[in-house]
Structure 1
């Protein structure tokens, strides 16, 4: 294995940074290529057929260009719809992102949990299966919020996020008949952990769980016997649409992404 072979992170936007961050903590010298399919953003509003076609084709081009040692679909929507398509198309390990329903079920004492994601994610049969396997005795409140995806993108682009907008986005979960008893919410979109403070303010007394650290541990396990550069190297962020500008460049640099490219 070439020590300079990168880990490829893929998302529709900047949400996958919430997976990249814990991975860089565990593997600080790992070369990284972070890809934002900004030309296809947001996935949560696209049809399942379109995502199932677009994601494997795009990842195939990216693997050919960057020759990664491992690919991470750091997007719940893309993972729940296209993960198996990607795995069958690529000849390398592919790590997906799935809603953290198992730890939520283990943590809940009231046996009422929420699953907060995009509209496309929360309706997937995969979520049904996870809920039946790991939270069968729980009331599961599902809610899809495209607004939160947009707010997370805006925050990382340097724009102020109105706390009232975040509260309005999660209000339907709290208004559910079991909403007052909900004690854990699964952040089933990688964008949502980026709204950490705003989410805690909008869901007082409710714990949130996401898959970022678990995915990072999985990446570390799959690459445990591989060789990395002896010192950190420059990492690249790739955008399929217009390149980022302004404060977003600084945000990307704070995650170790100091080169910008387009596809």
Structure 2
């Protein structure tokens, strides 16, 4: 099925639901495991980051495997790169991004409530500095290359393991701990905990993520100039 063909309304609605739920569970994992790590390992930032990264990487593998038959981007940058590759219509991309943003906010609220915190507590964790901004470009560029490189492999099902492994590693090799996702970044402003980010830090982070995504789109086109179209990660396959 062509990813640029107009899907039936019920199919688009299922894709929107998959993106909303998948992104919600992803953010709930990031925020919830951050809160748990902070409580279980007080005073040990390195151990907190290890716990947070392992939980996030493992959840990504599970979520992508579970939702990929319908839609499993969970990231506005990935969806916009798909649109740039002609795999998703612009109007569909806009709807999918809206679902991801809504899902991210829902996931943060649920994570807060699970740990008996206020449903919404604006983060005061400032994340500033040129190094962190460079890191977000690098993290997002790498994510785009991993996603679309894995999708072009002979075994598309490996994309879940590639993405989960990459994000778990990127928590450590980037100074920003690899947000690499505008929906997740915005959602993390709603929790004043280990995984939070102050609203004032968000515009620069998102700008660098978009820049990394654009760079990733360019590199994907250079690496695969005549390759067959990749299977869409936001197009229902059934």
TM, length-normalised to structure 2:
0.28
Q: Which structure has greater helix proportion?
A: 2
Which protein has the larger Cα radius of gyration, Structure 1 or Structure 2? Answer: 1
TM, length-normalised to structure 1:
0.27
Q: Which structure has greater strand proportion?
A: 1
Q: Bigger relative contact order, structure 1 or 2, given CA contacts below 8 A and separation 6+?
A: 2
